Amino acid sequence: MALTMQGAFYTGQYRNVFLEAGYSPEEIDARLEQAWNDLFDGAPEVRIYFPLGEDQGYVLDTGNSDVRTEGMSYGMMMAVQMDKKDIFDRLWNFSKSYMQHKEGRYKDYFAWHCKPDGTRLSPGPAPDGEEYFAMALFFASSRWGDGLPPYDYSEQARTILRACVHKGRDQEGDPMWDPATKLIKFIPESPFSDPSYHLPHFYELFAERADERDRIFWKEAAVASRAYLHLACHPETGLSPEYANYDGTPAEPQPHGDYRHFFSDAYRVAANIALDWEWFRQDPWQVGQSNRIQRFFREIEPSEYRRYRIDGSPFEEPALHPIGLLATNAMASLAADGEDALPFVHKFWSTPLRTGIRRYYDNCLYFFSLLALSGKYRIY
């Protein structure tokens, strides 16, 4: 496998792993375009995006019949990567109008879920939404330029990040990053993290684009997150828990469930590590980690995926999102250099988008993996 010494941030070169696996540029581009069309304008059993009125739209969590900052910010990232400004602006208009708080302790944060008509279901925010909103907005600013509010994308992004860092200092409320450890929290009020929220490749870019006074913080957050993932991922299986303490150990069961194990949230860790390696290539541990998780799943078919303890012992409970897990296992091939890298790419290529009620989360991860493995998940 050909590797440059530096990541795409430095070289401007993005690996097309599908091309390396033998697929033609034409079929790769067609596959990506078809997936976009299916998810954003396709048949009822596969689409996840829906327009609303003249200038809004939303990504629906089809399994829960609600709209989440996770999905809205994911949709915006997909749209900016695909150069779809109209869809991006519709998603942003919905998010800005219905989800972003205009006052109080959550000012500039986003209510983490609401109904498709914009009615809020819960006021609290989920930090993975804020970090994706900010990064997608910065990319939109670079691709399309800033306009009048709310399309002054870069200033909107800086406002979000300002709140994330400065609440509890010079703003009312709780910050989204723990000031002592520089680690992202599960929610602003929580004393623990979620390994799948850690996006050091985003923080490196925030360190260039956020308020100047916060740029050192974001650089330190990138370093801290890379080190944290070493602790949160099991040294033999590569599996991580859904929630973990700041020392990387699985967090204690919460009132809303037991998240000490490898299940839906945790699937994203492999994808995040792989993209950090592709963009910045700062941590050689990421190569071995990607090999480990692929090796763990080598002999397991997606239909047999389960909930797992992080030591690899399975529960009877099947995976809720097996296509999403396959997609992230394949995306790990951006960093992996072992014997499983190309087989996972081929297995993913031969797997279609998920249909039915649980399709939303699977297909978000699926589309990000398509982008990444085709060399189209880029820094703007």
CATH of the domain at 320: 1.50.10.10
If we measure between CA atoms, which residue out of 138, 195, 145, 191 comes closest to residue 161?
A: 138
Asked if 70 is an active-site residue, the reply is yes
DSSP bridge pairs for 56: 52
Residue 119 lies in a domain: no
Residue 247 lies in a domain: yes
Asked if 316 is an active-site residue, the reply is no
pTM: 0.97
If we measure between CA atoms, which residue out of 201, 369, 196 comes closest to residue 276?
A: 201
Residue 152 lies in a domain: no
d(CA 121, CA 276): 33
Tens digits of pLDDT across the chain (380 residues): 344 479 999 999 999 999 999 999 999 999 999 999 999 999 999 999 999 999 999 999 999 999 999 999 999 999 999 999 999 999 999 999 999 999 999 999 999 999 999 999 999 999 999 999 999 999 999 999 999 999 999 999 999 999 999 999 999 999 999 999 999 999 999 999 999 999 999 999 999 999 999 999 999 999 999 999 999 999 999 999 999 999 999 999 888 889 999 999 999 999 999 999 999 999 999 999 999 999 999 999 999 999 999 999 999 999 999 999 999 999 999 999 999 999 999 999 999 999 999 999 999 999 999 999 999 999 99
Residue 60 lies in a domain: no
Q: What is the CA radius of gyration of the chain?
A: 19
Catalytic residue (choose from 214, 265, 276, 278): 265
d(CA 224, CA 222): 5
Number of domains in the chain: 1
Domain that residue 247 falls in: 1-42+233-380
* Angle in degrees, CA 345, 13, 328, rounded to 5: 30
Token readout for 306 is 């389960």
* E strand map for the chain: 49-52, 56-61, 66-68, 113-114, 120-122, 306-308, 314-318
Catalytic residue (choose from 66, 70, 108, 283): 70
Three-state SS at 202? helix
